[in-house]
Each structure stands twice: as C-alpha cells, then as structure tokens.
C-alpha cells in the first residue's frame, strides 16, 4: 500500500487548525469572563525562551500552508505575521483552511519523490517529498499547533 500524500497532509492540517481555532475561542471567552486583558494570553509563553501564543499560531499556519504548496509545486502564500488579537489569529487560521481547500488529491499524490528545497536551521536543504512531509513539515506543525493551546491553557489555569 502506498501513502496518499494528500490524505497524510491536507485533511490533517485542516482538522488540527479547526481544533486550534476552537481552543482560541475558548481562551478568548475565558479572558472575557475573567476580565483579563486578552494580550496576557496572546503574549504568554510556556518558557522564557519559547515563542508566545501568537507566534506559535503563525508558525503552525505557516507549516500548514507551506507543506501542500511545496508538494504541489505551488508558490507558498506569504502572510504578514502582524496578528495582534484573537480575531486576527482566527482570520489567519480561516485563511489557511481556505488555502488548504484549494488542493485535491491529484495535486499532491505522487509528490513523494518531488525534491523540496527549503531553508532549515539557517541552511539550504533538499528533501524528497515524503521525507519532507513526514520528517520536517508534520513534526514542526504538530509541535506548534500543540504548543499554542498548551500556552493558552497554562495561562488560563486549565484543569
């Protein structure tokens, strides 16, 4: 059995981004209910050397839009990284989910051997599509999409 590059990426990115959107809605409501400035949550970090919630969401969406674009041989959309509110982050997630909806299985399946050129850790790297998806794009996406709600949950004192 061969892997479907589409099924391993687009539906996964979409589902996880929708879940992240839900967590952000809960965090925003929690801030309102507790009369906490939303910036407290948006700028929170799990550790001093980690990115804040807003940046975690930006990076997660970057991986979600970048991976299928690269695998399909399309230009990766560029976002400004200027989000400062929950509404801005929700709009960025929605824009990314809309972008993901432009891909079909035919666009990605068969990209396992496509050479993906990108900059990782400050150096140029060439990876085959399957290696890129499974060993670079997905792990990085999962790290940031998981760290973002963990950061907001820690701030909210989730139980």
Please state, in angstroms and as integers, the Cα–Cα distance from residue 45 to each residue in 36, 42, 139, following that order: 16, 9, 20
Spans of all domains in the chain:
10-104+123-156
pLDDT tens per residue across span 124-151: 999 999 999 999 999 999 999 988 777 6
Confidence class for position 50, pLDDT limits 50, 70, 90: confident
pLDDT tens per residue across span 71-94: 999 999 999 999 999 999 999 999
Cα–Cα distance, 112 to 128 (Å, whole number): 6
Q: 3-state secondary structure string, 60-74?
A: HHHHHHHHHHHHHCC
User: What CATH fold (topology level) applies to the domain 10-104+123-156?
Assistant: 1.20.120
Question: Quick one: pLDDT at residue 159?
Answer: 42
Cα–Cα distance, 148 to 83 (Å, whole number): 14
Confidence class for position 2, pLDDT limits 50, 70, 90: confident
Cα–Cα distance, 97 to 89 (Å, whole number): 12
Cα–Cα distance, 6 to 77 (Å, whole number): 18
Cα–Cα distance, 157 to 154 (Å, whole number): 5
| Phi, psi dihedral angles at 11 (to 5 degrees) | -65, -30
């Amino acid at each position: 059995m061969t892997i479907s590059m589409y099924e391993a990426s687009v539906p996964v990115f979409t589902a996880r981004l929708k879940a992240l959107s839900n967590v952000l809605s809960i965090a925003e409501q929690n801030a309102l209910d507790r009369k906490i400035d939303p910036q407290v949550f948006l700028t929170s970090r799990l550790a001093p050397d980690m990115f804040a919630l807003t940046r975690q969401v930006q990076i997660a969406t970057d991986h979600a839009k970048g991976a299928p674009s690269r695998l399909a041989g399309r230009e990766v959309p560029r976002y400004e990284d200027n989000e400062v509110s929950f509404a801005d982050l929700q709009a960025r997630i929605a824009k990314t989910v809309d972008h993901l909806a432009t891909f079909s299985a035919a666009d990605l399946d068969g990209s396992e051997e496509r050479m993906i050129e990108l900059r990782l850790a400050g150096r140029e790297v060439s990876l085959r599509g399957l290696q890129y998806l499974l060993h670079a794009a997905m792990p990085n996406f999962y790290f940031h999409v998981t760290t973002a709600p963990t950061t907001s949950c820690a701030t909210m004192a989730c139980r």
